[in-house]
Amino acid sequence: MEFGFTSEQEMLRKSAREFAEAEIRPRVRDMDETGKVPMDILDKMAKLGFMGVMIPREYGGLEMGHIARTIVLEEIGRVSAAMANTLQITHLGISPIVTDGTEDQKRRWLPMLARGEKLSTFAVTEPTGGSDVLGIQTTAKREGDEYVINGRKCFISNSHLAGVLGILAKTGEGPKGLTTFVVQSDSPGFRPGREENKFGLRGANTGELILENCRVPKENVLGKEGDGLRIALGTISNVGRPGINAAALGIIRSCLEEAVRYSKQRVLYGKPISELQAVQWNLTDIYMDYEASRLLTYYSAWLRDKGERCDAENAMAKFCATEAAVRCAKKTIDIFGAYGCMMEFAPQRLLRDAELFISGAGTSEIMRLVMIRKVLTLA
Amino acid sequence: MSRVNCIVCLKPVPDPRRWSELALDPITKTLRREGIPSLLNPLDKHALEEALRIKERSGGTVTVISMAPLTANDVLREAIAIGADGAVLLSHKSFAGADTLATSYVLAAAVKKLGEFDLLLCGNQSLDGGTGQVGPEIAEFLGIPHVTYVRRIDVLDRGAVRVERALEYGYMVIEGRMPLVLSVVDEINVPRHISLMRISDAMQAEIPVWTSRDLDIDSGRIGLLGSPTQVADLFLPTIKRRREMITGAPDTVSKLLIQKLRELGVL
């Protein structure tokens, strides 16, 4: 077993952290107050290669692997979970084109996505189904050389930003009746709808997609008709959940640093509160949550880099890291006392951001359902 | 406009967040840096950025050099990931303990070995030593002019350069012919970030390590033994104020105060 990072990975961490501190940190408060997405920062990230981390080199990407992606997202998430979410969702949208796209599809979309000319997302959830994927009602009917898609998607991250989107729609009934389409935002009949006003991850865009007789060429089918469920669940398991894990890890890291820094400075009863046992227990709890989440998150990334199937591990890391992020943010607020409840201090934002990750890419309850399939094979 | 080839001197400095852990070796009086991470001297980042901008405008190459322990490899690879074309590390135990003169002597020898260049850029001073001497000393060893506190560089036609040298109030405009040594200050530019796209190539780049045997140098002029100055001590000064209260009628107090100030040599 090798628990260390390579020099290349350390350089990656350093560069992501320096970028986050220099470019994102000064804008975090503004993002949280206004909810506006800083497109100029995304543009800078694009030019430095952040969007193309998972795209093969031959299409202009960095082909860096899952551990590398986790490092980049953790460092961005440490400063802004909202920014990390926008980035990880773009990776999510890109992923099925890499795994299931034809050569023609890859050449058509991956280079522009690697350059960050367009952002991306993957849209599954509808009012009738998110956890219940088979409950979606968006339909895609074949007409000649096109498909006509009708439906609405909700709670889609990057809904109003993405130029290249993966959309899951029904072409038939049952599990084999779902198909994944690549839809460009300038397609006729496609438009973003309502934009949500979230209490957390503010500065990341979430909203509705409306497809009204949206026409896409048959060449935009990923895989073939009926592959949609496999592609969607595989992408969400291998890219969506891990992206959230990394961002949640960044939140926990931020909680640890904020809590330690504050408790060393805050003097009560004539000494820093870091010397009070009750505070020390909270600090060590946050530390244990960070290290445990870190190990699970990087372990599942390591498995994916080896090409191993690891849905249970992805789900376990998602459950643990996101639940830990909420727990640690609450503990950090408690350490800050009344200051923790004030908007000008970071801990309240960390809690608000962390809570949004519980339901994204599958709730904690769904993560248990994913894990149980493996658990029942263990004896 | 013809191509401008730049050399940039880089120095790894101890992370200032860990300076409280630094100590001097009691015998050699050299800085013990083991276990303290280094980072690229902040002003050297500005020097590298300026070299890259000159390359983007005029063409040419950017080579970075550093005289440092082998761990400086990380800082040189960082420079390549930022955009430098190549790097050379000067590292040998005989270089250790060098003051600015011995350091500049070795760096100048390496620059001579690298061959012809147009501009040598460095940060005006390092975060740790802060002397600002190495740039001018290299220039003297090379027999070429230097300008310090450079806040702007414009490459002109026919091998000429126009620079602005920052003063306390305002700046001085100086024109010169290349080759030149220029020490830059932070107002010259905003350094670019490491590009993720260059990290992989930077980690695989070959960085030659030159020792004393690879350079045309006099061994008596390098390292601790070649240093006419030596660090005597490294300490964090504590400022203690003496306090004395004088009470009484205003007349008495003012007379006593004048007497005391005269005794202390203030008046």
Domain at A59, CATH number: 1.10.540.10
Is A54 a residue whose pLDDT tops 80? yes
Q: Which pLDDT score is estimated for A90?
A: 97
> CB A50 to CB B196 under 8 A?
yes
Q: Please report whether residue A108 resides in a domain.
A: yes
Do A142 and A128 fall into the same domain?
A: yes
Residue of A nearest to B71 (CA): A7
Residue A87 sits in the same domain as residue A182? no
Q: Supply the ipTM of this predicted assembly.
A: 0.85
Same-domain pairing of A72 and A19:
yes
At B157, is the secondary structure helix, strand, or coil? coil
- For A336, half-sphere exposure in the C-beta direction (CA atoms, 13 angstrom radius) is 25
On whether residue B237 sits in a domain, the answer given is no
- CATH code of A270's domain: 1.20.140.10
How many domains is chain B partitioned into structurally? 1
Question: Which of A10, A15, A50 to mutate to probe the B interface, most B CBs <10 Å?
Answer: A15
Do A14 and A102 lie in one domain? The reply is: yes
Q: Is residue A263 part of a domain?
A: yes
Contacts of B194 in chain A (CB under 8 A): 11, 14-15, 18-19, 48
Of A52, A85, A119, which marks where a domain is finished? Answer: A119
Cβ-based interface (< 8 Å): residues of A facing B: 7-8, 11-12, 14-16, 18-19, 22-23, 44, 47-50, 52-53, 62, 64, 72
- Residue B29: the pLDDT is 67
Can you give the three-state secondary structure of chain A, one letter per residue?
CCCCCCHHHHHHHHHHHHHHHHHHHHHHHHHHHHCCCCHHHHHHHHHHCCCCCCCCHHHCCCCCCHHHHHHHHHHHHHHCHHHHHHHHHHHHHHHHHHHHCCHHHHHHHHHHHHCCCCEEEEECCECCECCCHHHCCCEEEEECCEEEEEEEEEEEECCCCEEEEEEEEECCCCHHHEEEEEEECCCCCEEEEEECCCCCCECECEEEEEEEEEEEEHHHEECCCCCHHHHHHHHHHHHHHHHHHHHHHHHHHHHHHHHHHHHHHCEECCEEHHHCHHHHHHHHHHHHHHHHHHHHHHHHHHHHHCCCCCHHHHHHHHHHHHHHHHHHHHHHHHHHHHHHHCCCCHHHHHHHHHHHHHHCCCCHHHHHHHHHHHHCCCC
Question: Could you tell me which residue, A209 or A1, shows the higher pLDDT?
Answer: A209
Domain boundary among A100, A119, A138: A119
Same domain, residue pair A142 and A264: no
B241 lies in some domain: no
Average pLDDT (A132-147) is 93
* Tens digits of residue pLDDT in A210-252: 999 999 999 999 999 999 999 999 999 999 999 999 999 999 9
A343 vs chain B: nearest CA distance in angstroms?
A: 28
In the predicted structure, residue A295 carries a pLDDT above the cut 80: yes
Interface with chain A: mutation pick from B196, B197, B203, highest number of A CBs within 10 Å? B196
How many domains does chain A contain in total?
Answer: 3
In which band, very low, low, confident or very high, does the pLDDT at B267 lie, cut at 50, 70 and 90?
confident
Query: Is A241 domain-assigned?
Result: yes
Q: Give the domain extent around B21.
A: 6-221
Domain identity same for A131 and A213:
yes
Give the number of beta-carbon pairs within 8 Å between A and B.
Answer: 50
Q: Is residue A1 part of a domain?
A: no
Q: Looking at the domain assignment, is residue A2 inside a domain?
A: no
- Does residue A350 share a domain with residue A213? no
A221 lies in the same domain as A306: no
Sign, Cα dihedral of B24, B25, B30, B34: negative
A37 in a structural domain = yes
Residues A181 and A138 in one domain: yes
Distances (CA, A) of A287 to A57, A62, A280, A333, A347: 37, 32, 10, 15, 16
- Percentage with pLDDT > 70 across chain B: 99
In a domain, A297, yes or no: yes
Residue B137 host element (H or E):
helix B134-142
Structural domain harbouring A207: 120-225
* CATH number, domain containing residue B33: 3.40.50.620
Q: Identify whether residues A138 and A91 lie together within a single domain.
A: no
